[in-house]
A and B are shown apart, each in its own frame.
Chain A
Amino acid sequence: MAAGRDDFVIAFRSAFLKKKDKQKFSLLTLIFLSILVIILSNFNFKIIKIIKMGINEVVYRSSFFISIPENKIKSINAQINEHMKLYDDYKIIETDLENLKQKELSINFLKLENDKLRKLIDESIKSDEILAKVLIDKESPFLKSIVVNKGTKDKIKIGMAVIDRAYLVGKVIEVNYTNSRVLLLSDLNSKIPALLEPIGMQAVISGTGKNYGEIQYTKEEYENEIKIKKIIVYTSGLGGLFKAGLPIGTISADNIKKVNFFSDFKQLEYVKILSFNIESTN
């Protein structure tokens, strides 16, 4: 029994404490160092923040360059697929265009009406868009986020909305000097206050870790409404974080909890970071 314990102790000491010929540090030293890094990275001291930002800058830039061959292969693959579906897509787009032209006329009228009403209540929304390139989009199975090439030097702040064309894709959660990390709507930790239109119901949209979202909370039941109307999810603007009315997705008819996002998060190349300001004299 004692011999067995001695063997364990010898094996343990040899494994953890002794440095091999080509190892510069023992395993135990590095394990303690990584625990120290985990603890320190959670403190908001200025020096730690600067070091973290420095590491992020270097790693993001390096990853961008190292990923160039992989991204090239991906884009060639996507181009081939697009060419294969060209004719089918053309037919669909042709009918869509006709429908959109008709809708545009009514939208223009609504826009003018909306501007007039805002003037009546002396409220104006000023919003700025900053175009950003997606540097890293790793499609990790666990955390859904992207890194974009705009940071504090471009006046990016934590919490800003990120959109792809007109559709909301996420929010800024970490800002470095020249780049920032965006948490996508599909991430499990993403929670967005939303408005279900045309029924006008407030809801909270949560990510699922998959390529769709989920209605986590609504004020009232909406099962009956969804059977007769197509429901579109917009940002509600509650909490003041996002501008109200940014389209998020549609509610699936087969599963009323499921939100199909308008934007395909796997195809993001350029996004716009949105800052807005509501001014009211009332």
Chain B
Amino acid sequence: MSSLNKAPISNNFFSYFPIVILFISVFNEFDFNYLKIQYFSFNFIHILIFFWTLKNPNHLGYLSIFMAGVVNDVIVGLPLGLSSFCYLLICSVTAYVRNITLSPNFINDWLSFLFTILLVNSVQVIILDLIFLIQVDYIKYLINTGFTFIFYPLFFFIFNYVNKKIIVKLND
């Protein structure tokens, strides 16, 4: 009887996949910067948070996102709470988009993503530059936003595959 209630390990693995990847990403500052291609960098965490909070928010809690933001601030050296605020802004947009969307489609999601990362990066630059007086390179932020936008479809495909696996496993 107890075996019926016990979730197999693979179910747990898929359930915790977004959170595990999120924390590995923030601890490793995962942005492919080490490829040493000039100007090349993208924000994997923004893609991850946007996708999972839009498609399956039950597997990526807001509290985890808040904690991941704090960790990111400490690692990168940003003012404490700034990344959490930016990540939660992404969650706000995805929560709103999820509520107003009746039939989701990829192009709408992608365009919403562009709007979201432009908003989030603008807010971050404004806070850093105008409030904390930390000089930042606007061009780098813009290029980072561009690459993040371009890479969204690739990760959308991968995460969508994992998401379907989670849904199937949980319904088994």
Interface residues of A (CB under 8 A from B): 7, 10-12, 14-16, 20-27, 30-31, 33-38, 40-42, 52, 55-56, 59-60, 62-63, 66-67, 70, 74, 136, 138-143, 145, 174, 181, 188-189, 209, 266
Residue B76, interface by CB 8 Å: yes
Which residue in B28, B57, B84, B140 is a CB contact (below 8 Å) of A209? Answer: B140
Distance (whole angstroms) from the CB of B25 to the closest CB of chain A: 10
Residue B170, interface by CB 8 Å: no
27 contacts between A and B (CB under 8 A): A7-B100, A11-B96, A11-B99, A11-B100, A12-B96, A15-B96, A16-B95, A22-B57, A23-B57, A23-B61, A27-B88, A30-B62, A31-B92, A33-B84, A34-B88, A37-B80, A38-B80, A38-B81, A66-B24, A136-B75, A138-B75, A141-B33, A141-B140, A143-B77, A181-B77, A188-B136, A189-B134
Q: For A183, give the chain B residue with the smallest CB separation.
A: B77
Query: For the complex, what is the distance from the CA of A30 to the CA of B31, rounded to whole Å?
Result: 26
Query: For the complex, what is the distance from the CA of A36 to the CA of B84, rounded to whole Å?
Result: 11
Q: For B135, give the chain A residue with the smallest CB separation.
A: A188
Excluding A52-B80, A59-B27, A141-B144, 10 further A-B contacts by CB distance (< 8 Å) are A14-B99, A16-B92, A25-B66, A30-B66, A30-B88, A74-B34, A139-B29, A139-B34, A141-B33, A209-B140
Contacts of B58 in A (CB 8 A): 20-22
Q: Secondary structure at chain A's binding surface: helix, strand, loop or mixed?
A: helix
Distance (whole angstroms) from the CB of A97 to the closest CB of chain B: 29
Contacts of A15 in B (CB 8 A): 92, 95-96, 98-99
Q: Are B28 and A37 in contact (CB under 8 A)?
A: no
Q: For A173, give the chain B residue with the smallest CB separation.
A: B77
B95-135 near A? 1/0 per residue, CB < 8 Å = 11011100000000000000000000000000100000011
Contacts of B163 in A (CB 8 A): none
Query: For the complex, what is the distance from the CA of A189 to the CA of B117, rounded to whole Å?
Result: 25
Query: For the complex, what is the distance from the CA of A37 to the CA of B27, rounded to whole Å?
Result: 20
Q: Are A140 and B80 in contact (CB under 8 A)?
A: no
Contacts of A7 in B (CB 8 A): 100
Query: For the complex, what is the distance from the CA of A24 to the CA of B57, rounded to whole Å?
Result: 12
Query: For the complex, what is the distance from the CA of A11 to the CA of B100, rounded to whole Å?
Result: 6
Contacts of A141 in B (CB 8 A): 31, 33, 41, 140, 144
Which residue in B28, B71, B76, B81 is a CB contact (below 8 Å) of A35? Answer: B81
Which residue in B36, B66, B77, B137 is a CB contact (below 8 Å) of A33? Answer: B66
Q: For A21, give the chain B residue with the smallest CB separation.
A: B58
Residue B45, interface by CB 8 Å: no
Contacts of A31 in B (CB 8 A): 85, 88-89, 92
Q: Are A23 and B62 in contact (CB under 8 A)?
A: yes
Interface-centre pick from A23, A34, A138 (highest chain B CB count, 10 A): A34
Query: For the complex, what is the distance from the CA of A67 to the CA of B23, rounded to whole Å?
Result: 12
Contacts of A37 in B (CB 8 A): 70, 80-81, 84
Query: For the complex, what is the distance from the CA of A179 to the CA of B75, rounded to whole Å?
Result: 12
Q: Are B137 and A209 in contact (CB under 8 A)?
A: yes
Query: For the complex, what is the distance from the CA of A40 to the CA of B79, rounded to whole Å?
Result: 10
Q: Are B27 and A66 in contact (CB under 8 A)?
A: yes
